[in-house]
Amino acid sequence: MSIPSAEMGAPVSVEMDEDLDLDAAVFVALGCNDKGVWADCVEALEAGLARFRAEGVDVTARSSWWRSKAWPDPNDPPFLNGVARVRTALDAHGLMAALGRIEEAMGRRRGPRNAPRTLDLDLIAYGRATGDCEGLILPHPRAAERLFVMGPLAEIAPGWLHPVLGETAEALVRRCSVGLDARASA
């Protein structure tokens, strides 16, 4: 698989669950470009991940952290992004509510769209669910075009098949049109 890394050829440390049922996989994207009270965005993202369990969400695999310019305004602080595969008994709406509580606990305040934030959590896919699920669009309608989402997702599940586009995460990495500067951190 050809995924950009911090230094081409450098190994990327990625936690994975070998028992990957891609048809039932639930993926959450994480992003940060405002460290808030933490030492840096890595610490903020790790603190956010640490809160998942208290909300009934188990992280079963996670990517490395990827750096990229802020999008759509590259003048904002740069982003650190990653993707986690999770297991939960919550339905998609319950998971979204849990993700919102985690964002709030981490200091996220809703402001202008795409403004800097301490933690941004997006539900990328909930198994094979598609379409408008009572106001929740699944899979995430713009994830497939964003390298800072598809790159990390392809690290942990290169064979994941997008439920609408019918292409693997690995193939979608090559088709991304947003965040093309995104690279895995060393």
Q: Yes or no: say if 103 and 79 are a contact pair by the CB < 8 Å rule.
A: no
Nearest to 15 by CA among 143, 157, 162: 157
SS3 54: helix
| Annotated active-site residue in 34, 62, 85, 108 | 108
| Annotated active-site residue in 85, 117, 146, 183 | 117
| Annotated active-site residue in 34, 62, 85, 122 | 122
Side chain identity at residue 57, one-letter code? V
Active-site annotation holds for 108: yes
Distance from C-alpha of 16 to C-alpha of 18, rounded to nearest angstrom: 6
Bridge partners of 154, per DSSP, are none
Active-site annotation holds for 58: no
| Annotated active-site residue in 62, 120, 146, 183 | 120
Active-site annotation holds for 117: yes
E-strand ranges in the chain read 26-32, 57-62, 66-68, 79-88, 120-126, 131-133, 136-138, 183-184
Residue given tokens 């950009």 in the structure block: 4
Show the tokens assigned to 32: 């940060």
- Positions annotated as catalytic residues are 108, 117, 120, 122
